[in-house]
């Protein structure tokens, strides 16, 4: 299963392509960063999705973001945290820690830029669970089976979760579709431009993420999918707009972390020399 995920998992695919683009960005210049294989070792079972299966509701990452809610800071806080920790790990040349932070930073950014994660999932799920919050889903059964005061209500809530256009059924169908579309792609056109590299250095990871998440939200992809399912137009949007934007974002975030870590080293060396 680990081998299958490494080659066919969407997050792993994105990490590999972004790592290749990162190397191209630093062509001819020295830099320190974990390899693609070291990074993807912290995806799958060892990544945020693995936590959900191993210990439901216990320190479980929640990678949903509402672009219309300016007070929604949970995912942004996680992104900034992993970015800052990656800078520290790179500065200290802690390979295992750097690989972990690079993978979890990437995972949070990818989820945050995926249209299926912009839906008000938490509130809808809470409604289907009779008002119980996500922190009460402490077992696989609690995650999979919805509640209800009567049999008919329970059946209805589970249909709203798993049936046609159900909450989780739609979410999974969209993500699986994106994964299938991007798996055979080489995505050479997802390389960040020089202007984007400069912009990232000026704005940082938080502002870059917010700018790009609004770009994705403006496409209305998940709304169109919920209405019509997979269409040639939607698949084309994934290939030409969504996938390149996500991969260039990961590359930019890793690039910025390297540059920030090098600045820290330079400041430390200058203080030592003084």
pLDDT in tens, 116-170: 999 877 778 778 877 776 666 667 677 778 888 888 988 898 998 899 888 889 9
| pLDDT at 169 (0 to 100) | 92
| Between 68 and 267, residue with greater pLDDT | 68
pLDDT at 121: 78
Give the pLDDT of residue 249.
97
Q: pLDDT band at residue 203, thresholds of 50, 70 and 90?
A: very high
Which has more confidence, 199 or 184? 199
Nearby residues of 138 by Cβ (< 8 Å), 6 or more positions away = 56, 57, 58
pLDDT in tens, 204-213: 999 999 999 9
Q: In the chain, how many domains are there?
A: 1
CATH number at residue 130: 1.10.575.10
Tokens representing 202 are: 């000026």
The confidence score (pLDDT) of residue 147 equals 81
Q: Give the model's confidence band at 273: pLDDT under 50 very low, under 70 low, under 90 confident, else very high.
A: very low
pLDDT of residue 60: 59
> Is the pLDDT score of 184 beyond 90?
no
Question: CB under 8 Å to 248, separation ≥6 — which residues?
Answer: 21, 190, 191, 192, 196
In the block, tokens 């030592």 appear at 272
pLDDT in the model for residue 56: 52
For residue 45, what pLDDT is reported? 74
- The 3-class secondary structure across the chain, one letter per residue, is CHHHHHHHCHHHHHHHHHHHHHHHHCCCCCCCCCCHHHHHCCCHHHCHHHHHHHCCCCCCCCCCCCCCCCCCCHHHHHHHHHHHHHHHHHHCCCHHHHHHHHHHHHHHHHHHHCHHHHCCHHHHHHHHCCCCCHHHCCCHHHHHCCCCCCHHHHHHHHHHHHCCCCHHHHHHHHHHHHHHHHCCCCCHHHCCCHHHHHHHHHHHHHHHHHHHHHHHHHHCHHHHHHHHCCCHHHHHHHHHHHHHHHHHHHHHHHHHHHHHHHHHHHHHHHHHHC
Which residue is associated with the tokens 């798996």?
183
pTM, two decimals, is 0.86
Provide the mean pLDDT of the chain: 85
| Confidence class for position 66, pLDDT limits 50, 70, 90 | confident
The residue range of the domain holding 266 is 2-273
Per residue in 6-58, pLDDT (tens digit) is 445 789 999 999 999 999 999 878 889 999 999 999 987 776 765 555 455 45
Q: What is the pLDDT of residue 143?
A: 75
For residue 274, is pLDDT > 60?
no
Tell me the CA distances in angstroms from 169 to 139, 182, 225, one per residue in order.
Answer: 19, 20, 12
């Amino acid at each position: 299963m680990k081998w299958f995920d490494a080659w066919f998992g969407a997050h792993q695919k994105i990490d590999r392509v972004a790592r290749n683009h990162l190397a191209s960005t630093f062509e001819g210049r020295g830099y320190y960063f974990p390899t693609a294989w070291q990074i993807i070792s912290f995806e799958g079972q060892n990544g945020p999705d693995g936590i959900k299966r191993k210990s439901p509701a216990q320190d479980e990452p929640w990678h949903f973001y509402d672009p219309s809610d300016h007070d929604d800071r949970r995912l942004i806080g996680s992104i900034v945290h992993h970015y800052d920790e990656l800078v520290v790990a790179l500065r200290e040349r802690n390979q295992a820690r750097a690989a972990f932070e690079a993978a979890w930073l990437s995972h949070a950014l990818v989820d945050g830029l995926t249209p299926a994660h912009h839906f008000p999932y938490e509130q809808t799920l809470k409604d289907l669970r009779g008002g119980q919050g996500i922190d009460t889903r402490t077992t696989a059964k609690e995650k999979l089976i919805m509640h209800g005061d009567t049999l008919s209500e329970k059946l209805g809530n589970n249909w709203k979760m798993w049936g046609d256009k159900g909450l989780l059924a739609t979410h999974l169908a969209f993500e699986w579709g994106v994964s299938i579309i991007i798996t055979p792609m080489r995505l050479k056109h997802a390389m960040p431009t020089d202007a984007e590299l400069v912009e990232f250095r000026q704005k940082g990871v938080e502002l870059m993420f917010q700018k790009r998440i609004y770009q994705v939200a403006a496409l209305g992809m998940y709304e169109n999918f919920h209405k019509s399912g997979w269409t040639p137009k939607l698949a084309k949007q994934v290939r030409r707009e969504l996938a390149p934007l996500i991969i260039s974002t990961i590359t930019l975030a890793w690039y910025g972390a390297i540059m920030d870590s090098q600045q820290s080293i330079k400041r430390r060396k200058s203080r030592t020399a003084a």
